[in-house]
Amino acid sequence: MPVIRTKAIEQSTVLEDALRRELAAELTAAEDDGKPLQQPIVLQNEVEDPGQSIHVTVVWERWRPVSAGTRTKIIEEAYRSELPGYADRIATAFGMTTLEAVDAGLLPWEVVTRDGAILWFGGVETERGPLLRLPTRKYAERAAEAINLKYPQSEAQVVDRSTGTA
């Protein structure tokens, strides 16, 4: 039994280190307005208060095997290594899978297609089927446009799931 536990811990540490490095790289990557928004999606909400706190949510399917507490630790460590000025201001940090973020209302914009073309553009396979959900209309429209250019038969559309309208 101890050998199995040691291997699990080693594998977990390797995964955590990889996630931390990937997230840190994403935090410092320049935003490209022409580029699709793909995971990890970092939602950073700056609250106007005396301490200027920030609330961070990272939406990423790679969180699946990672506990909530470890997700928070990885986010905080990635910020500390790459954006130390922000790290001290983090009030809350949550790591969520796509479905967790959808259920929390953080990804109201969905790109729907007649086929599975959304997977080409950063959509993910979930237990509810293929899904491409985004935090803003701008990114959802950009995704639908790109999908329709590459796969016109897909007829990608944007739907606001908070209201159910296209």
pLDDT on residue 9: 47
This prediction has a pTM of: 0.86
pLDDT on residue 34: 62
φ/ψ of residue 155, rounded to 5: 50, 55
Return the SS3 of 87: helix
What does the pLDDT profile of the chain (166 residues) look like in tens digits? 454 443 444 457 888 999 999 999 999 887 666 666 789 999 999 887 767 899 999 999 999 999 999 999 999 999 999 999 889 999 999 999 999 999 999 999 999 999 989 998 889 999 989 999 999 999 999 999 999 999 999 999 999 999 877 7
pLDDT on residue 37: 74
Contacts 24+ apart (CB under 8 A), 156-165: 156/111, 156/112, 156/113, 156/117, 156/118, 157/111, 157/112, 157/113, 158/109, 158/110, 158/111, 159/109, 159/110, 159/111, 159/112, 160/108, 160/109, 161/102, 161/108, 161/109, 161/110, 161/133, 162/105, 162/108
61 in Cβ contact with 81 (< 8 Å): no
pLDDT on residue 97: 97
pLDDT on residue 107: 96
